[in-house]
């Protein structure tokens, strides 16, 4: 007869309550969120382009929306999302080449992605407002 096996207490898988959020972990989560936000922003861009091709009334409606305060905030956010996701992709490309795996290098790349995305977004909008 088979002996009764006693249930062995197995360790639980670590979760967010165990780990403190590291910058690289947060940046990975933000990279995934910005990927989803790009989907929604690109749908708005497609709406704008379709409205431009549809005629003056549709284009006036789209232009009114993107010219409003809410529209400008959405465009500013879309600009940041696009740039942040692109810089995150460059960070992943650096890792794909076998570089940047050390603790200091990972933290530096994460900080550079965040600071760079905010800086470049502000620069792009400043140039756009000056040229306007």
Query: Per-domain residue ranges for the chain?
Result: 23-131
Is it true that domain 23-131 has CATH number 3.40.190.10?
Answer: no
Cα–Cα distance, 31 to 91 (Å, whole number)? 11
pLDDT digits (tens, 9 = 90+) for 37-76: 999 999 999 999 999 999 999 999 999 999 999 999 999 9
pLDDT for the residue 119? 98
pLDDT digits (tens, 9 = 90+) for 81-130: 999 999 999 999 999 999 999 999 999 999 999 999 999 999 999 999 99
Closest CA to 117 of 75, 85, 91: 85
**Residue 19: pLDDT over 90:** no
Structure tokens at 56: 């003056």
Cα–Cα distance, 7 to 69 (Å, whole number)? 61
pLDDT digits (tens, 9 = 90+) for 30-48: 999 999 999 999 999 999 9
């Amino acid at each position: 007869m088979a002996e009764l096996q006693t249930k062995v207490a197995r360790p639980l898988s670590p979760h967010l309550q165990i780990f403190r959020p590291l910058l690289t972990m947060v940046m990975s989560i933000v990279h995934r969120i910005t990927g989803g936000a790009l989907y929604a922003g690109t749908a708005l861009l497609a709406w704008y382009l379709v409205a431009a091709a549809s005629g003056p009334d549709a284009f006036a409606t789209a232009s009114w929306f993107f010219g409003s305060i809410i529209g400008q905030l959405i465009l500013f956010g879309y600009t940041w999302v696009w740039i942040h996701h692109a810089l995150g992709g460059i960070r992943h490309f650096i890792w794909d080449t076998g570089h940047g795996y050390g603790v200091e290098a990972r933290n530096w790349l994460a900080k550079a992605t965040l600071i760079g995305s905010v800086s470049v977004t502000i620069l792009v909008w400043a140039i756009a407002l000056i040229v306007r």
